[in-house]
């Protein structure tokens, strides 16, 4: 199995040995390199996901989607991005200028921090420590602050209503996300993403290993994750029919672009987390007994597995989004508090029993 650590140690050795940099300078250079890589990946994935969303949405609606710019419309999103970059950022009167300008950066920072938590390959974890799951949950909640600030500082009732709905929704569904993650931690016995993946590479994917409670947790995670991203049937914070665009109504140019970017990257992060904790992260598919098959699978590098799984989950989330109509705020809250929370609590107990009696594979 390809180990990314070889590359990182080689780079470190080159910086300290061949170039003769002191330890701190080498680490500084590496950090800047990693940050640039994260930001580049962030932009690339956003562009890919926007294209995928437009195509998948079109196919679900019996259309073809963008076809004009480039072959099969592949350059459409690039031209959209350049259009967004050249647009003017308009400063509005009677808004809280400071908070108004800060809010998109909070959202995008939270999203980038969570993006850095994803385990890309064996040895390619950017942020990885023993309470990684807690860190992930904490920084993913940071985005809510940005959304609430955006709604408040816009001085616009639609934005404020959208932000409040979004806040209520995200805080509620955070509970389900946390509970399902706890369920899976119960199974793996570790909170570090790298160890969760390494464990699944040896013992098989969690969703197979934990059978019934793991599948239940996966479904709950998908529902709650869609709500976390303000997507799918849960997109009422930006319901265009009632609130024009919700909390980002008053934003223009790249400030709006940041929300757009963060929305799609949150989708990928949500899918990537599902891939990590349920579908084995970078761990290849192994079937006990079929050694030849397992060896072939092990030749495929880990990042291909990870990205492939994440895109599969993204497709599932898009399928949900383009199938169901939007829920009302009371329906959203009753779905969470009356259905998902009790079920995930029951599921946690079930998983604890399964683990305690060794009923998993």
Partner 1 sequence: MNNDNNYFSGLFGGVKSLCIGLKTTMREYFTKKITEQYPENRNELQMFDRFRGSLVMPHNENNEHKCVGCGLCQTACPNDTIKVESEFYEDADGKKKKRLTRYEYNLGSCMFCQLCTRACPHGAITFDQSFENAVFDRARLVRVLNQPGSHVAEKPVVKKPAPAAPAAKAGEANA
Q: Between the CA of residue 32 and those of 25, 36, 39, 278, what are the distances in Å? A: 11, 6, 11, 31
Q: Which residue has the tokens 């497709």?
A: 315
Among 85, 323, 337, 361, binds partner 1 (CB under 8 A): 323
Q: At its nearest, how many Å lie between partner 1 and the CB of residue 128?
A: 35
By CB under 8 A, the residues from 332 to 351 that bind partner 1 are 338-339
What is the sign of the dihedral through the CA atoms of 332, 338, 344 and 347? negative
By CB under 8 A, the residues from 62 to 101 that bind partner 1 are 62-64, 67
Among 98, 324, 346, 361, binds partner 1 (CB under 8 A): 324
- Binding status of residue 319 toward partner 1 by CB under 8 A: yes
Q: At its nearest, how many Å lie between partner 1 and the CB of residue 66?
A: 11
Nearer to partner 1, 66 or 119 (CB): 66
The piece of 53-61, 87-95, 181-189, 207-215 that touches partner 1 (CB under 8 A) is 53-61
Bridge partner residues of 119 (DSSP): 125
Burial (CB count within 10 angstroms: exposed 0-12, middle 13-18, buried 19+), residue 75: middle
The piece of 88-96, 100-108, 173-181, 314-322 that touches partner 1 (CB under 8 A) is 314-322
Q: Which residue has the tokens 């994803």?
A: 118
Tell me the C-alpha distance between 233 and 349, whole Å. Answer: 29
* Tokens describing residue 45: 């994935």
The piece of 80-88, 262-270, 318-326, 349-357 that touches partner 1 (CB under 8 A) is 318-326
Nearer to partner 1, 60 or 82 (CB): 60
Q: At its nearest, how many Å lie between partner 1 and the CB of residue 241?
A: 20
Total of residues contacting partner 1 (CB under 8 A): 15
The piece of 24-32, 114-122, 188-196, 316-324 that touches partner 1 (CB under 8 A) is 316-324
Tell me the C-alpha distance between 267 and 310, whole Å. Answer: 10
Nearer to partner 1, 44 or 349 (CB): 349
Q: At its nearest, how many Å lie between partner 1 and the CB of residue 339?
A: 6
Q: Which residue has the tokens 């969570």?
A: 114
Could you give the dihedral angle defined by the CA atoms of residues 338, 342, 343 and 348, in that order, rounded to the nearest 10 degrees? 160
Answer for the pair 193, 353: CB distance below 8 angstroms, yes or no: no
Nearer to partner 1, 54 or 87 (CB): 54
360: left (phi over 0), alpha (psi -120 to 50) or beta: beta
Q: Which residue has the tokens 């509005």?
A: 92
Binding footprint of partner 1 on the chain (CB under 8 A): 58-64, 67, 319-320, 322-324, 338-339
């Amino acid at each position: 199995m390809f180990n990314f650590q070889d590359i990182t140690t080689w780079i470190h050795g080159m910086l300290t040995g061949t170039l003769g940099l002191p330890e701190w300078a080498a680490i500084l250079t590496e950090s800047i390199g990693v940050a640039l890589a994260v930001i580049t990946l962030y932009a690339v994935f956003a562009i890919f996901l926007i294209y995928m969303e437009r195509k998948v949405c079109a196919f679900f609606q019996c259309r073809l989607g963008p076809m004009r710019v480039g072959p099969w419309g592949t350059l459409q999103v690039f031209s959209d991005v350049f259009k967004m970059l050249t647009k003017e950022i308009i400063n509005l009167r009677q808004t809280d200028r400071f908070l108004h300008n800060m809010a998109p950066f909070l959202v995008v920072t939270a999203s980038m921090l969570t993006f850095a938590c994803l385990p890309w390959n064996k040895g390619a974890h950017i942020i990885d420590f023993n309470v990684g799951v807690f860190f992930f949950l904490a920084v993913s909640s940071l985005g809510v602050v940005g959304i609430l600030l955006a709604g408040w500082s816009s001085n616009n009732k639609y934005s404020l209503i959208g932000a409040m709905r979004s806040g209520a929704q995200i805080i509620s569904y955070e509970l389900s996300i946390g509970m399902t993650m706890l369920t899976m931690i119960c199974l793996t016995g570790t909170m570090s993403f790298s160890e969760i993946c390494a464990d699944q590479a040896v013992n098989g994917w969690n969703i197979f290993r934990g059978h019934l409670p793991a599948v239940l947790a996966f479904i709950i995670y998908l529902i709650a994750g869609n709500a976390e991203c303000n997507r799918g049937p849960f997109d009422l914070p930006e319901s265009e029919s009632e609130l024009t665009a919700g909390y980002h109504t008053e934003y223009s140019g790249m400030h709006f672009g940041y929300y757009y970017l963060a929305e799609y990257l949150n989708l990928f992060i949500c899918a990537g987390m599902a891939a990590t904790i349920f579908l084995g992260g970078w761990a290849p598919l192994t079937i006990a007994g079929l050694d030849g098959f397992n060896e072939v699978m092990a030749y495929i590098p880990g990042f291909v597995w990870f990205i492939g799984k994440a895109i599969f989950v993204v497709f599932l989330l898009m399928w949900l989004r383009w199938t169901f109509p939007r829920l009302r705020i009371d329906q959203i809250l009753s779905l969470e508090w009356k259905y998902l929370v009790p079920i995930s609590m029951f599921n946690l107990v079930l998983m604890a029993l399964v683990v305690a009696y060794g009923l998993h594979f």
